[in-house]
Structure 1
Amino acid sequence: MTKGAKTTLIDAIAALFQSRAKDADEGEDYEAFLALTEPDEAELARQRAWSPGDPPRFVVIVPGAGGRGAQKTLASLEAQTYRHFEPAREGASAPGDYVMAVRAGDTLRPDALYRFARRIEAKREAKLLYADEDCLAGGRRANPIFKPDFDEVTALSYDLFGAPVAVSKALYDACAAPGVESAFSPGESYAFYLRCLAKCKSAEHIERVLLTRGAPPEPMGGSEGCAAIEDYLAKADLDCSVSSGLWRGSFRVAAKPKAKGGIAIVIPNRDGADELRRLLESIEETSAFYKPRIIIADGGSTSERALKYYEILEKNKAARVVTVKGAGFPGLCNAAAKVATAQDLLFLARDVELFTPDLVGALRSEAGRRGAGAVGCALWDGGGRLVHAGYVAGLCGAVGSPYAGEIEAAPSARRLRFTDTARGVAAVSGACLYVKAEVFHGAGGFDDSFDDGNILPVGADVAFCVRLMRKGLTNVFTPYARAVLHAKLPRIEDAGEELRMRAFDALRPLLAAGDPYFNRNYSRRSLKPIVKTTPEDGPPERF
């Protein structure tokens, strides 16, 4: 089967599966959210009175100005509180600083251009900006799409930008903007935004619902999305492959393997011979191709069975045992990492059982991408409930994983973007954490002050990932690697007071400002992402 035929088949299967998926999850009160966040008349009046010294001018492209749908769009332009704009049929000849295309029938919220202008005033270097959106359903606003802040991993996994999007006029002219009609083709618009991204390197996100679609957009086909990403990868000189993802309109970008430097798998353990044997057998079944070097970091086993098993493993050169009596997860992992000579490190909890046939390859392909930090997989418990799909800072405590505790079912489009998409995250679980050795050692490894003797991670993994974020790296969750966790991960909230304080100190900047990978319009009180309905549900507002 040719690549094109395979992509078409994947699209057809995904379309059938996704036809039942709504964008939003059940059980949220979007009207209460709008009542909380929509500007009132006093706020709109303040916006109209705002007078910047050098106001950015917008060209707003509206096709088919005589049509009924376009009249609704033009009426929403007339209601804008920010008046430095000009409607146009095309952007090439119109004077202005930024260009925004709005599909006929879609409507901008009254404060849309104001919010864009305020962000541009704060960040004059911004060339590509996007905001959140919703859609009419039965004549009412519904199905909000709350987007994360920009990161390259997520932006190449699906069309992160959507609508509305503003592009600087210079960038618009330089990147071969699509024609007026094709600008609203999902593939054409995505390809254009990626061409812009290849030049400007980043994008600004405004966490406000600033556009209401008159009708849901058509999903992007796999072949046109792959072509757009391949063009971006070539322009950015990134040696990666691209294929269709797990749902229609999603994509999988994988770094091509470089010169082999080996992989060391580090397993903290204390006694637990049966659990260790189960993990090692699953490594053999899923990862034998990579011939990983196994390092068991023992925290002081006393079980005769465990000690005998170690003896057998070392005699057969199946594993190396490093002992640090009394140490917990961070101390054991650091000791093993010091003696590892591999290019990459994979830290695995003893109670994990690898499931994906090429789990190591899936993790490695993400760790090899530009700017990647730590990479984590999807963890499920033995009953088929989700344990981990990347951590959000401040979600139901110190950290939480979206949709944790839920079984696999017919998902919403929102859930697909969280659990079935490779994306940037604040942190990943140390129960399965893959990282390049130079990145690990360059960040100082795991913080030993989090060592409470527990061989499972309690905060050290999160603090490590936060340090990588501060170094400008992106931690990645990938759904293409799955494992079963046969133990319950300890919660930071249940740890001793000193460790809790250390964890919250590490997370303080994210808890105060909000996790950039988790939209502040979601409630922080629910593991299932739903809209916030009270100010206490999320971090402070920002422009």
Structure 2
Amino acid sequence: MAKMRKFFAMAWLCIRRPGTLFKGIKYLKNNGIKGFLSNMKSRAAFEVSPESGQWEVKPEKGPFHGDILFSILMPVYNVEEKWIRKAIDSVKAQTYLEWELCIADDCSTKEETREFLRNIKDEQIHVTFLEKNGGISRATNEAAGLAKGDYILLMDNDDVLAPHALYEFYKEIKKSDADIIYSDQDIIDQYDCHREPLHKPDFSMDLLLGQMYIGHLLGFKRSLFEASGGFRSEFNGSQDYDLMLRMSRRAEKIAHIPKILYSWRDLPSSTAANPESKPYAQTAGLRAVQEYLDSVYPEGASASETEALFVYDVRYPVMKPAKVSVIMPTKDHADLLRAVIKSIEEKTDYPDYEILILDNNSKEQETFRCFKELQEAYSNVKVIDAPFKFNWSKLNNLGITKASGDVFIFMNNDMEVISPEWMQRLAEKALRKGTGVVGGLLLYEDGTIQHAGVVTGIGGWADHIFKGMKPVHYGSPFISPMVTRNVTAVTGACMAISRETIERIGNFDEEFIVCGSDIEICIRAINRGLVNVYDPYVKLYHYESKSRDARDIPEVDFQLSYQMYKNYHNHTDPYYNINLDPESCIPRRRNG
């Protein structure tokens, strides 16, 4: 019955909103029936109101009063009356009543815009007119000059707030006293149809350095805004990004509300519709990231552009010569071992590393010939006997005792290096202050994703998000797999941990036998105040479990994992989003 209701709602929406029908026909033509049905299934995960075209939400009924005044800043320039009217109406429709809307017109040349603003008669709406066009940063600062609220919220002049947006912010502030708050968002087109929801993770500094994922709705204490110096005109186009980076250094608490409270208007001139419409914003964003890095990492961290617009790649210096120890357990499968060692030796551009092969009861003569060949061919390869019953944790702990490196890379024997800089990237992030465990992008033999970070709670346990998807950049309904970000965990198939971190948090838990201890050590790092990082530019093939039966997992690993995940059983991984399906490794919105 629910599916029928969604179908008729979508059909009615197409009739009422012809743009939706035209876009559907275009999508069908470009993507075929299979792609069209998949897209419709994704959209059907939302309740669509045929009257409004909006994703249906069921907020608490208002009106609500409170002791926090919100000042909504809206810079305006030559916007059509119908769009700014819709934007202002969405503010007036708020169920939380303590707000003021501070509008600064940046010397609009359209008389329609200025006339509309002059005719606003509302005690909660304050308007100022700039005599000279100064750009969005100056206009927003002028709007802030009108503000008297405890918190400032940012809003574009053609976007829309959900009716309960301010009330959700009010509840979060009363709970956490957050300095900065942000919510999920979507895109709304000229027919008021909503699409492309973005369900964001909780605050992730590494992700923020790679992409301004915070977006809207963004709010913050007015005192923090003033202490940070407000907006800066030299970063116009990415002024929100620059401000967010600077405020993040001062903020003690950054909160995320996992609800769509803001809709970004898709118009031909907007970045929502066409990211290339504001190319100067790409450069401004890069400069904002670099300035942040210069202030936090004076030793010389650097940011660069990537193939994706508004996505940046941050690199960190290794301050002193650091040796890497690759620790690789193995048992027979000489063909796999030869291949992985050869790929490391021939493709890796890192200057100082050793490879420790932990021989766990190999029996085949070909394996022993392989050991001999590898040690003769490569002076940095050493085979270490590990004559005990298989225990993944115990094997890696043995490797730690034999290793001479400053960074340990724990690695399976069924892999192949793709990117020459993989080791450098793992090392520089593992050595970075405050980092726990680092992992990379692992691909199946067919080029699809095997690992791009682990989400705890998937399937009731933990699993690799994006598994089976293509390694391409996209931005809905979750963050792209091709952007560096913080994660709760990474796979033990390839993870890097510095010696200093191991000494701080301890070795692998040997109560786990086959699996689970890789996730446990990542969670332990987080509990000790560190962050774990996924770097998509660390690329390797992983021919998963070719040397061990993935079904051969003892009961004790399940028991220990259940206890380890007890705080994540309700799908509360902070680096994922509660709105996404906890039973799917492919990010999609949960039903119901």
TM-score surpassing 0.5? yes
Instruction: Give, in whole Å, the separation in 2 of the partners of 1:283 and 1:185.
Output: 44
Please say which of residues 106-115 and 362-371 is displaced more in the overlay. Answer: 362-371
Instruction: Give, in whole Å, the separation in 1 of the partners of 2:483 and 2:310.
Output: 11
**Which residue in 2 is equivalent to 1:128?**
180
1:195/1:343 CA distance change after superposition, 3 Å = same
Alpha-carbon contact 2:407-2:431 (below 8 Å) kept: no
Q: Does 1:360 align with 2:419?
A: no
Question: 1:482-501 maps to which residues of 2 (within 5 A)?
Answer: 482-488=539-545, 495-501=553-559
**Which residue in 2 is equivalent to 1:81?**
95
Q: Does 1:165 align with 2:218?
A: yes
In structure 2, what residue type is equivalent to 1:161? I
In structure 1, what residue type is equivalent to 2:63? R
Alpha-carbon contact 1:130-1:206 (below 8 Å) kept: yes
Q: Secondary structure of the equivalent of 2:501? A: helix
Q: Secondary structure of the equivalent of 1:449? A: coil
In structure 1, what residue type is equivalent to 2:71? V
Q: Number of residues paired by the alignment?
A: 498
The structure with the larger Rg is 2
**Which residue in 2 is equivalent to 1:436?**
498
Q: Secondary structure of the equivalent of 2:573? A: coil
Q: Does 1:393 align with 2:408?
A: no
Unaligned runs of 5+ in 2: 1-29, 50-54, 104-142
Alpha-carbon contact 1:387-1:404 (below 8 Å) kept: yes
Q: Does 1:44 align with 2:44?
A: no
Instruction: Give, in whole Å, the separation in 2 of the partners of 1:230 and 1:33.
Output: 39
Alpha-carbon contact 1:58-1:86 (below 8 Å) kept: yes
Q: 1:70 aligns with which of 76, 81, 84?
A: 84
1:513/1:487 CA distance change after superposition, 3 Å = closer
1:256/1:27 CA distance change after superposition, 3 Å = farther
1:310/1:415 CA distance change after superposition, 3 Å = farther
Please say which of residues 242-251 and 301-310 is displaced more in the overlay. Answer: 301-310
Q: Does 1:347 align with 2:403?
A: no
**Which residue in 1 is equivalent to 2:10?**
none
Alpha-carbon contact 1:389-1:418 (below 8 Å) kept: no
**Which residue in 2 is equivalent to 1:114?**
167
Q: Secondary structure of the equivalent of 2:557? A: helix
Structure 1 residue 74 displacement after superposition: 1.4
1:412/1:102 CA distance change after superposition, 3 Å = same
Instruction: Give, in whole Å, the separation in 2 of the partners of 1:412 and 1:330.
Output: 36
Alpha-carbon contact 1:56-1:97 (below 8 Å) kept: yes
**Which residue in 1 is equivalent to 2:567?**
509
**Which residue in 2 is equivalent to 1:475?**
532
Q: Does 1:214 align with 2:214?
A: no
Structure 1 residue 202 displacement after superposition: 5.0
Instruction: Give, in whole Å, the separation in 2 of the partners of 1:494 and 1:528.
Output: 25
Instruction: Give, in whole Å, the separation in 1 of the partners of 2:506 and 2:491.
Output: 18
1:533/1:225 CA distance change after superposition, 3 Å = same
Please say which of residues 233-242 and 187-196 is displaced more in the overlay. Answer: 233-242
Q: Does 1:58 align with 2:70?
A: yes
In structure 1, what residue type is equivalent to 2:543? H
Instruction: Give, in whole Å, the separation in 1 of the partners of 2:256 and 2:549.
Output: 31
Question: 1:393-472 maps to which residues of 2 (within 5 A)?
Answer: 393-408=456-471, 412-414=474-476, 417-452=479-514, 458-472=515-529
Instruction: Give, in whole Å, the separation in 1 of the partners of 2:467 and 2:234.
Output: 38
In structure 1, what residue type is equivalent to 2:75? P
Structure 1 residue 334 displacement after superposition: 0.6
Q: Secondary structure of the equivalent of 1:160? A: coil
1:262-287 Cα offsets, whole Å, 9 max, x none, are 11110111112221111111111122
Please say which of residues 90-99 and 216-225 is displaced more in the overlay. Answer: 216-225
1:243-301 Cα offsets, whole Å, 9 max, x none, are 11341111111111110131111011111222111111111112254231111112111
1:120-174 Cα offsets, whole Å, 9 max, x none, are 11112x2111111111134311111111100211111100210111111111112
- Aligned-residue RMSD, C-alpha: 2.7
1:289/1:494 CA distance change after superposition, 3 Å = closer
Q: Secondary structure of the equivalent of 2:216? A: coil
In structure 2, what residue type is equivalent to 1:211? Y
Q: Secondary structure of the equivalent of 1:33? A: coil
Alpha-carbon contact 2:199-2:477 (below 8 Å) kept: no
Alpha-carbon contact 1:429-1:462 (below 8 Å) kept: yes
Query: Comparing both chains, which one has the higher relative contact order based on Cα–Cα distances under 8 Å and sequence gaps of 6 or more?
Result: 1
Instruction: Give, in whole Å, the separation in 2 of the partners of 1:31 and 1:523.
Output: 14
**Which residue in 2 is equivalent to 1:33?**
46
Q: Does 1:145 align with 2:198?
A: yes
Structure 1 residue 370 displacement after superposition: 3.8
Instruction: Give, in whole Å, the separation in 1 of the partners of 2:204 and 2:342.
Output: 36
Q: Secondary structure of the equivalent of 2:522? A: helix
Q: Give the TM-score normalised by the residue count of structure 2.
A: 0.78
Q: Give the TM-score normalised by the residue count of structure 1.
A: 0.85
Instruction: Give, in whole Å, the separation in 1 of the partners of 2:40 and 2:586.
Output: 10
